[in-house]
Amino acid sequence: MARVRNQQGVWYIIQQISSGKTVEVIEEENFFPKFMMEQESSLTNLTDAALAEAVSKVKNLQNEWLRTYLFPSRPEDHYFAREISFAWQEVPYENKGPRADVVYKQVL
């Protein structure tokens, strides 16, 4: 069964490989502002100086959101976890590279 969540916001699945126990984590809808998602998405259409300026603006917006909303809140108020049934399926994609989360695992 393929899992796709066609909504904006945080969503991820954590699976303990040895047991197959799987947990889905979903962010509360609209916790992260839609206008900030739109700002992030708009970066793909920019180049050079306009891109550098827009990245700085988006980074400042993100930092302000972190300080004002995320850090003062409790995770359980905005992120919800539940155990789910999930079987990993390999993605049929020929151009896969190494997993970025483990490439520099042993770097000090």
**In sequence order, what DSSP letters do the residues of 28-85 get, joined into one string?**
PTTSS-HHHHHHHHHGGG--HHHHHHHHHHHHHHHHHHIIIIITTS-HHHHEEEEEE-
Q: Say if residue 1's pLDDT is above 50.
A: no
For residues 59 and 94, which has the higher predicted lDDT (pLDDT)? Answer: 59
What pLDDT was estimated at residue 44? Answer: 87
79 class by beta-carbon count within 10 Å (0-12 exposed, 13-18 middle, 19+ buried): middle
Record the pTM.
Answer: 0.66
Strand partners, 71: none
Q: Where are the domains of the chain?
A: 11-89
